[in-house]
Amino acid sequence: MAALRNDCMAGSPEPNRRSRLNWTSLLTRPRCRLVLSSLLGLWLFPGFVEAVVHVDCTKGQHVRPKLKADKVIVVKGTCTENLVIDVDDVTITTDGTTPAVLAALDPSQPTILLDGAHRVVIDGVIPNGITVSGGNFGIAATRGSTIDVANCHVTGASNSGIISSTNSTVAVDACSVMGNGNGIVAANTASAFVTNTTVGSNTASGIIATRSSYVRVGQDRGGTTVVKSVTVSGNAGTGIVIAEGSSGNVVGGTVEASGVNNIFVGRASSGQIGEGSNNLTGGVTIQNAVVGNGIAVEGGNATIVSSTIADNHLRGIVVSNGGSARIGVTNNNAVFGANTISGNGTDGIGIFHASSAFIGGNTIDLNVAFGINIGQATATLVGGNAITNNGQTGLFVRAGQALVGDSGFGVPTTVNTISGNGGAGPNTGGIFAFEGASIFVADAAISSNTGPALQAFEGGILEVRGSTAVTVPATGTTVGALVQFGSTLRVRDTASIISATSHGIQASNNTSVNITNNGAVQGNGAGAFGVQCFSSTLDGSAIAGSAATLTGITTNVSGTAGKTTGCNVFP
């Protein structure tokens, strides 16, 4: 405290009655006001007498009559009243020993309302030193107000615990905001900064930015490059909402056990998860959504990096309705911010309905359904992803497009690893193109998946290029690739498809296989061909003339039983 006091007093005159106005002006300095609110011996300086008042609500005193500009109000006891602050530079604090309560007399009004007031401070000094209880809002800042709230407990507000609205700015530090409707809200071109705080057990959402507003969670208003973690836990609605043309940064901390989604970014909004201001990075733990997703992006944009998204009821991350996301790829393309997306109740990542995503550097592991599920949307797996041990197919695309490996993106590596997927089914394998989907694969390592490593059904297109290596488990009987119902498979460059236990490629029903350059296809095991073309009308015991075509350079095609069988072969 002595160092803080010396910093505050530097350059100030000696205290005397003639310098009274200068002393009073110190109260406009936030650091000075913090000192003054903590000094018990304040009355020793005559020039301060009119600037500091004590209110003891246990004796029937009230705060409201003392709300004047440049005042420090030291509160004791439970004060049951609704406060309206419409003057600047007011501090409400405690003596640093005895907690205080500010409780709403009229529950239909805010417990504390700021109406165009600036540089207001509410600081309990000790943890939960001031409790703000009841009201439709606990603390409401309106009409361009500014307030710093610290060491407080805000509870029992029917609408929102703390709201910043109509161009106001609220900073919340070292507080608990619990048991309200919503926790903390920024609305109507306002902003809220939340640090070192718990926002939990509210009956609606935890933290909200809406209607062109901004929230920063886990980093202070000054943009200090230190994570100041926030816990958002057990809210009945969504944990953090960024919506209606708003934006937000969430760094460090935990968002968990929300009744709907843990984090929602949508409707022309932008969210940066794991990235703050001034290049601060800090991963967020996003887990255990009760009925929803870890992160949902709908019609908005999100960057999601350096975080753990695990054990959510539905998907780890879902992007829908024209939304876009950078998942594991920082705003500097050459740097990954790897996420771990694991153990979620359906897919690790879902991209749907005209949405798009860049996905890089992530571990996508042990999700119940698909590792990545793309439907009527597009995604680029730029590189560095490990898609492993998911219950269904590692990468499943329906009526959409996926690019796997993009050397032009500038990332540290273009190699994606897809292995161990499909064990639970019904969809299996490493990569699956379905209903007109198009998947371009370069430089991937696809191995040890249950079922054919590559599959294309109903007009699906698979192009396997670069140094991609496709293999299957060493035991059992597994085809390297299965192409059916009007689909297409192309193998080019030095890409290879090798089955240790069955045919390299199986094709049927008006499909096309093309092998060029140094592409290699190999079948192993009894009766295995490099490429087997068959008719799906048979039970598999015989080969009839099929409507499958094999074209290209087949020099590097081989099999235990021969190069090809049953195919319409053209050069």
The DSSP letter of residue 452 is: -
- The secondary structure of 115-182 as a DSSP string is ES--SEEEE-SSTT-EEEE-SSEEEEEETT-EEEEESEEEE--SSEEEEEESS-EEEEES-EEESSSE
Which pair of tokens denotes residue 241?
A: 């909402």
pLDDT value at residue 30: 45
Give the HSE-up count for residue 384: Cα atoms under 13 Å, Cβ half-sphere: 23
Please state, in angstroms and rounded to a whole number, the distance separating the CA atoms of residues 332 and 411.
Answer: 9
- Contacts of residue 167, Cβ cutoff 8 Å, sequence gap at least 6: 143, 144, 188, 189, 190
Strands 160-165 and 182-187: parallel
Q: What is the pLDDT of residue 135?
A: 98
Q: What is the pLDDT of residue 37?
A: 44
Q: How far is CA 308 from the centre of its chain?
A: 9
Token reading at 437: 């989907």
Predicted local confidence at residue 534, as pLDDT? 87
Cβ distance 397 to 432 under 8 Å? yes
Spans of the chain, pLDDT less than 50 = 1-7, 9-31, 33-34, 36-49, 538, 540-542
Of 362, 315, 366, residue with least CA distance to 339: 362
- Matching residue, tokens 């106001």: 168
Asked if 325 contacts 301 with a C-beta cutoff of 8 angstroms, the reply is: yes
In this prediction the pTM is: 0.91
| Phi, psi for residue 199 in degrees, rounded to 5 | -120, 105
What's the burial of 202, exposed, middle or buried (CB within 10 Å: 0-12/13-18/19+)?
A: buried
